[in-house]
């Protein structure tokens, strides 16, 4: 697993024959990897955020399968859960909003423009030209081998802990111990974030947090699906600090980003694919 915004992701894409320039930051690597790499062109300074998806093909109204290149100009930002369809060409310095669909017919010629909607439309406002983003990830490839070794070591240690836990404890007790470990890891990860009011990319993916994120990811993959839609998931989020009322159904373990800052009233239902992302100090949901 390649960590978020790791310098190794662009290197892997270049090895797969994608045209990737320097200073490219990729949050979720798998959705980008599903697109044919030889048809991908990304210029320098591009950043993709959570679950930004590059569609590998498009079915036309005539029932034909359409495949084409995707070209992302320099200093583009792709928001959470946006979708870029084949044939899309984006001008430099464009921000694509969350849940936005960009097709080959999308036109945005303005620098510092913003695209929103399904399908995407250019908004009647621009991002300030003096806005700058400072990140701490080195653009050079010199640390790629070191990063690869750390990722492999991190993966090996986490999987050894997981196998040892479930092989040495009774099958009934192991998930409860694993859930307790998950809560402890979540509290440690939150304590790391509370120490900084402003984080750079290099601080987000430092070695201790990378290890904790891998431990959490193992719990999401191996235990999370069995908790989806059950009251055990509600109990877990309460243990993480969420204030959740009675008769609440949550779809999966990824639906809440910061449980300790969240309050949910009684009789609340979240459908599959719903996500609550906390901004500022807290979020409260009531029916």
pLDDT in tens, 242-261: 898 888 888 888 888 788 88
Whole-number pLDDT of residue 284? 54
Contact 55, 85 (CB under 8 A): yes
- Parallel, antiparallel, or unpaired: how do β-strands 40-42 and 47-48 relate? unpaired
Helix (H) or strand (E) holding 65: strand 65-66
Angle, vertex CA 193, rays to CA 190 and CA 199, nearest 5: 155
Q: Residue 195 — φ and ψ, nearest 5°?
A: -75, -15
Cβ neighbours of 91 (radius 10 Å): 17
Cβ neighbours of 266 (radius 10 Å): 11
Whole-number pLDDT of residue 41? 92
Mean pLDDT computed over 60-75: 86
Taken in order of first residue, the domains within the chain and their CATH numbers are 8-126 (2.160.10.10), 144-285 (no CATH)
C-alpha–C-alpha distance, residues 55 and 35, integer Å: 6
Whole-number pLDDT of residue 235? 92
Contact 43, 64 (CB under 8 A): no
Mean pLDDT over each residue of the chain, to the nearest integer: 79
pLDDT in tens, 256-270: 878 888 888 888 888
Query: Which of 83-97, 127-141, 203-217 is predicted least confidently?
Result: 127-141
């Amino acid at each position: 697993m390649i960590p978020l915004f790791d310098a190794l992701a662009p290197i892997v894409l270049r090895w797969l024959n994608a045209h990737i320039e320097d200073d490219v930051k990729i949050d979720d690597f798998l959705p980008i990897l599903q697109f044919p790499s030889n048809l991908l062109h990304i210029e320098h300074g591009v950043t993709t955020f959570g679950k930004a998806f590059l569609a590998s093909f498009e079915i036309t109204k005539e029932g034909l399968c359409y495949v084409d290149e995707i070209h992302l100009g320099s200093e583009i930002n792709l928001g959470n859960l946006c979708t870029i369809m084949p044939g899309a060409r984006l001008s430099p310095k464009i921000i694509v909003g969350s849940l936005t669909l960009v097709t080959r017919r999308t036109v945005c010629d303005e620098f510092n423009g913003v695209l929103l909607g399904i399908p995407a439309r250019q908004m009647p406002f621009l991002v300030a030209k003096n806005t700058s983003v400072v990140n701490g990830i080195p653009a050079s490839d010199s640390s790629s081998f070191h990063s690869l070794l750390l990722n492999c070591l991190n993966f090996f240690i986490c999987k050894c802990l997981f196998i040892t836990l479930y092989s040495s404890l009774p099958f009934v007790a192991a998930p409860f111990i694993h859930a307790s470990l998950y809560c402890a890891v979540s509290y440690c990860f939150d304590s790391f974030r509370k120490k900084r009011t402003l984080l750079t990319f290099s601080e987000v993916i430092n070695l201790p947090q990378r290890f904790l994120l891998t431990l959490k990811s193992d719990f999401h993959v191996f235990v999370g699906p069995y908790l989806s839609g059950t009251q055990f998931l509600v109990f877990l989020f309460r243990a993480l600090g969420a204030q959740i009322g009675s008769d609440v159904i949550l779809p999966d373990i990824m639906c809440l980003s910061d449980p300790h800052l969240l309050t949910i009233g009684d009789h609340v239902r979240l459908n599959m694919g719903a996500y609550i992302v906390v901004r500022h100090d807290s979020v409260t949901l009531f029916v």
